[in-house]
Structure 1
Amino acid sequence: MLDGYERYRSFRVGMPVEGVLCITLDRPGALNALDKTAHAELSAIWPQADRDARVRSVLLNAEGRAFSAGGDFTFLQEVVGSHAARVKAWHEVRDFVHNILNCTKPIVSAIQGPAVGGGLAAALLADISIASRTARLLDGHTRLGVVPGDHALLIWPLLCSLAKVKYHLMLCEPLTGAEAERIGLVSLAVDEAELQQKALDTAARLAGGAPTALRWTKHALNNWVRAAGPHFDTALALELIGFGSPGAQEGLAALQERRRPDFRRGSE
């Protein structure tokens, strides 16, 4: 663990190349699912990286065959069952997204295998997202019975067409990395064997670039995303309201029981 980052338990932090802070999701046995602690830590690290003079770029990657399987069931059950937990999650998710956007250091993500939920949000909010061609990207919110409010309604319409966004978000239709590149959802798709080296090389190139020019370019470009802030606020609020609905209860039960949800049960 890199000096100064010892408190993090959900991921490893190192500096494989001078100037490149590498954040590696490190729960491969759980497919790097994000529990309550991981959500909080993955939000808190971006302001720290921003303040760290050693850091000139950031690489976000993951250990094992999955990038992230999304939120774990314990965390989701708490949010479904408690108004206080939903309010807390509202604050945490808002900070999570804004902390990534406001980190002045350029961020690269390397996406392999399944990428879902908060892990997918972090990967797609990166400045340069690189996926393996066989990666499987999925925003499963509507199958869970809630609005995709954690990032997708903010960033997806800026990356690809609204027609594609509606198709993939409303139907929970997964994309391979190759298809995500084709429609503009990720920056680049490469063979899985090349993924980690390509992402590291890209982060190293950014670390070797003119820091002020890169950081100010990032800031200016992210104003397109900030301008969509009201859409994000609305989507996130609707998602958290939705977690208290019968639809979310059925969606979570279906996930836990490994069956297709039946949203005819109860009323919305």
Structure 2
Amino acid sequence: MTDRYSRYEQLKFDRPHPRVLRITISSPLKLNAMTARLHREVSEIWRDVDDDPSISAVIITGGQNSFSAGGDLNHERKVCDDYDMRMQAMKEARDLVYGMINCSKPIVSAARGWAVGAGIAAVMLADISIVAKDANFSDGHAKIGVAAGDHATILWPLLCGMAKAKYYLLTADSFTGAEAERIGLVSMAVDDAELDDKAVQVASKLAEQAPAALRWTKHTLNHWLRQAAPIFDASLALEFTGFGGPEGKEGIDAFLQKRKASYSPDTPF
């Protein structure tokens, strides 16, 4: 593996095909939840991938445990009270979304277990998303008292329609990989035992096709997302406004303390 990837500590790399880079999320936290360092690494890796002439396609996965259960809420509670940390986290969230959209290499996600928050963003933003039928997904923002930011407001209505997007983003209900495929939120759902091989098969096929043709096809298709950039920027700003306000703090406190959150009904818009 080239030196460009040596600085990453919580992303692991291998080559299941000579021109395919597989990125495996490897967090010390339960269910591959994202440490502050991992969140930064996932936001930065796409520039290195884009600049690497030795690869033609990418797989991002979470290994045998879970894809990623999202941000570490103990760290995110500190983000609520620290402006500089909040702005850093917001920048990384923006870089993750735009990094995957603008990366010229086709990206395949392979997800099992849980994918929440930044984890589900990385799954859904992949050009081809392959998930285990029994995987579990949730956007989760509303559950901790902040607006759905990240990727969902620009991507989900395009993939599965406004009605389903509103249902799952407003309720923060979880759903399976099989359901995600049924509503069109992912490319395909397979049995868990088939997941890794299927991802390698698809990524290898992409790597062996005409690279410019694939990259320009991705580039033009993603104009659908770029034209929605004002929606994304607004949702991200409102999400991090929420982290600094009473609802975000109460939502995270309640989750960490394993109690029901209590919100004021009179909070102004």
Normalised by the shorter chain, which TM-score bucket? over 0.9
Does residue 249 (structure 1) correspond to residue 253 (structure 2)? The answer is no
Deviation at 1:4, TM superposition (A): 3.2
Counterpart of 2:260?
A: 260
Q: Which amino acid aligns with 1:186?
A: V
Unaligned segments of structure 2, at least 5 residues: none
- Write out per-residue CA displacement over residues 24-82 of structure 1, whole angstroms, 9 at most, x where no aligned residue: 01126521111111111111111111111111000001123211111002320121111
Question: Where does residue 183 of structure 1 map in the other structure?
Answer: 183
Partner of 2:69: 69
Whether 2:55 is the aligned partner of 1:55: answer: yes
TM-score by length of 1: 0.96
Once the two structures are TM-superposed, the CA of residue 95 in structure 1 deviates from its matched residue by 1.4
Pair 1:35 & 2:28 matched: no
What residue is the counterpart of 2:204 in the other structure? 204
- For the residue of structure 2 that corresponds to 1:214, the secondary structure is helix
Encode CA deviations 1:171-207: one digit per residue, 9 max, x unaligned: 0111100110011100000001101110111111100
Find the aligned partners of 2:84 and 2:6 in 1 and give their Cα distance: 30
Structure 2 length normalisation: TM-score?
Answer: 0.95
Map Cα deviations across residues 205-238 of structure 1 (whole Å, 9 max, x no partner): 1001110100000000000010110100110010
Q: Would the alpha carbon gap of residues 78 and 140 (structure 1) be closer, same or farther in structure 2, given more than 3 Å must change?
A: same
Q: Partner of 2:222: helix, strand, or coil?
A: helix
Task: Give the whole-Å Cα distance in 2 for the aligned partners of 1:29 and 1:81.
Answer: 22
- Report SS of the residue matched to 1:63: coil
Identical-pair percentage:
48
State the match for 1:105 in structure 2: 105
SS at 1:31's partner residue? helix
| Number of residue pairs matched by the alignment | 268
* Whole-angstrom CA distance in 2 between matches of 1:191 and 1:80: 39
Could you tell me how far apart the structure 1 residues matched to 2:108 and 2:143 are? 29
Following the alignment from structure 1 to structure 2, what is the Cα–Cα distance between the partners of residues 219 and 41?
A: 23
Instruction: Work out whether residues 133 and 192 of structure 1, in 8 Å CA contact, stay in contact via their aligned partners in 2.
Output: yes
What displacement does 1:265 show?
8.8
Distance 1:266 1:73, change over 3 A: farther
Q: Which residue of 2 aligns with 1:45?
A: 45
1:111-150 pair list within 5 angstroms = 111-150=111-150
Structure 1 residue 114 displacement after superposition: 0.9
Q: For the Cα contact (< 8 Å) 1:60–1:110, is it kept in 2? A: yes
Q: 1:7 and 1:239 mapped to 2: Cα distance?
A: 30
